[in-house]
Chain A
Amino acid sequence: MSEASRLDATRNPIVCALAGLCLSAETRIKSAPGDELVIRLPVENLRAAVAVLINQLGVTHLTTITGEDLPPQLTLKYHFWQKRGFTLEVELPGEAPVAASIVDLIPGAALYEREVYGMFGVAFEGHPDLQPLLLPDGWDGAPPLRKEVHSG
């Protein structure tokens, strides 16, 4: 991370609001209007951070949740949009990953969490109806987007 992007990130109002909750912030993801901010958090602070975004900054739009298997870890990226895109990133252990559901804070997250549950096996605690979104009934293989799964 360059010095410039670090400076740019610390002046951001989102970073200031989440100051006590996040591990680091950097403008890392490339995009058309300029690089987008990524805020890394410990998974236990996720709900608190989302609540701050909603209550203090008026953020409402969660675009989606991207899961990615990077053994031995799993990362979840919560992509938000408010005039500009920005991302909250959490890391989970690859074995039996668990994260707190944010469906009660942002009801629009319901299908995204179900998709990540089906594709990566992340259990979202507190989700009202946690079942795979896209997999067939009775799917008993490993979650298909995990690295241990090899396609034919």
Chain B
Amino acid sequence: MARTVIPIGPQHPLLKEPLAFQIMLEGERVTDSTMRMGYVHRGIERLCQERTYVQNIHLLERVCGICSHVHAMTYCHAVESLLGIEVPLRAAYLRALLCELERIHSHLLWMGVLARNIGLDTIFMYAWRDREVVLDIMEALSGGRVSHAINIIGGVRSDVTPEDREEILEQLTTLDRQVTRLVGVVEHERSLQTRTKGVGLLSLEQVRRYCVVGPVARASGLDADMRRDEPRTPYDRLSFNVPTHTAGDVWARTLVRMQETRVSVELCRDILKEIPEGPLAVRAPRRVPPGEAISRSEAPRGEVFYYVRSDGSDTPARVKIRTPTLPSLLTLPQQLKGVTMADVSVVLSGVDLCIACADR
């Protein structure tokens, strides 16, 4: 059978961000593929070495356009470890609240993108309509729909008033109702199942070998979640379950993400109910004592890792970022092998790639 090579990207309607693939086909089936990245590399790790600790918060919030808060927060955690300061309890709760909202926002956005790529525009519309509620809550909390800028070293800079709290709880009730309905539709949608079951398969063994994290790993049966495995306050005080599946295909990833969305809505409620009164931040010195720190958080796509080394000045000597998309990208040739050309879009969407994150 004739072999064909189809290039996808770096600019392609299927991909929301620039990434290049060469898909090798035999007839309709993918036999091999290669990937080229780096099109949105902005040299952020280098830039961090040339800005002060405070300026870096602004920079690192722009590593990713979806999980912006978790990047700034994880960086602040590392710097706070170096300074030996503990953030006030209220600040920790507010950070976690925004983390969970971000997870709902990211998973709903992803659900819409997957549905759109399959051609299920109704689910796309529902998912993105529901996502608006989250964006409204985030705007009320921080003033920004995507970049929130609530983190400072030593705490947060915006508060929830009692009136805000009531209003957000009400919006969460709306969100819960809408998400429950959406999850019901998704779980019983036959055409979605037909397109996603058995597509983009990754076994538990492969997930371990490639060090994959997040919902992709959990959909293959790897029970790992940094919120539970390395908990920071307030996650050690909250109870929540970590959904996993064993099928390892795009359908299992859909179920994991949808169940996580519901868990996160519940977590947001618990956080707002249990949030203690108190100060929002403690004062942090500009200069950071010499040393090294690591922090890990569970972003919507999995474990985010920051390593920060200080030489005692007001500028970090090294900041290393590892985003959860990077290991997932490595598994794409495995996932694509053997699928039909029409399913390439399902595989690529199923992973929930964030290229800006991966390129930094």
Contacting residues, chain A, for B95 (C-beta < 8 A) = none
| Interface bits B57-96 vs A (CB < 8 Å: 1, else 0) | 0000000000000000000011001100000000000000
Contact: B46 with A144, CB < 8 Å?
A: yes
Q: Does A11 contact B (CB under 8 A)?
A: no
Q: Does A91 contact B (CB under 8 A)?
A: no
Contacting residues, chain B, for A31 (C-beta < 8 A) = 81, 293-296
Contact: A108 with B211, CB < 8 Å?
A: yes
Contacting residues, chain A, for B330 (C-beta < 8 A) = 107-108, 110-111
Residue of B230, B294, B360 with highest tally of chain A CB at under 10 A: B294
**Interface bracket on B:** 35 or more
How many residue pairs at the A-B interface have CB separations less than 8 Å? 98
Contacting residues, chain A, for B208 (C-beta < 8 A) = 60-61
Rounded to whole angstroms, the CA-CA distance of A2 and B261 in the bound complex is 45
Contact: A106 with B211, CB < 8 Å?
A: yes
Contact: A64 with B320, CB < 8 Å?
A: yes
| Interface bits B296-326 vs A (CB < 8 Å: 1, else 0) | 1000000101010100000001101010001
Contacting residues, chain B, for A36 (C-beta < 8 A) = 294
Q: Does B274 contact A (CB under 8 A)?
A: no
| Interface hit among B37-45, B163-171, B275-283 | B37-45
Contact: B307 with A106, CB < 8 Å?
A: no
Contact: A79 with B307, CB < 8 Å?
A: yes
Contact: A30 with B293, CB < 8 Å?
A: yes
**Chain A residues touching B, majority SS:** mixed
Q: Does A62 contact B (CB under 8 A)?
A: yes
Q: A63-B303, A87-B294 are in contact. List 15 more A-B contacts (CB 8 A).
A: A29-B307, A30-B78, A30-B82, A32-B81, A32-B230, A61-B224, A64-B326, A66-B307, A83-B229, A107-B330, A108-B330, A111-B329, A144-B43, A151-B43, A151-B47
Using a CB–CB cutoff of 8 Å, the interface residues on chain A facing chain B are 28-33, 36, 60-64, 66, 68, 77, 79, 81, 83-85, 87, 106-112, 119, 132-136, 144-145, 151
